[in-house]
Amino acid sequence: MKILVVDDEQDVKVLFQQRFRKEIRKEELEFVFAFSGEDALKIMKTMEHEAVLILSDINMPGMSGLELLDNIKKNYVKPPPMVMMITAYGDDENRTMAKNLGADDFLTKPLDFSLLKDKLITLT
Going residue by residue through the chain, which has 124 residues, state the pLDDT in tens, using 9 for 90 and above.
899 999 999 999 999 999 999 999 999 999 999 999 999 999 988 886 576 899 999 999 999 999 999 999 998 877 778 999 998 777 888 889 999 999 999 998 889 999 999 988 888 6
Q: Are residues 33 and 8 in contact, defined by beta-carbon separation less than 8 angstroms?
A: no
Just give the CATH number of 1-121. Answer: 3.40.50.2300
Which residues pair with residue 84 across a beta bridge?
A: 55, 105
Neighbours of 49 (CB within 10 A): 14
* Distance of alpha carbon 58 from alpha carbon 67, whole angstroms: 9
Which residues pair with residue 87 across a beta bridge?
A: 108
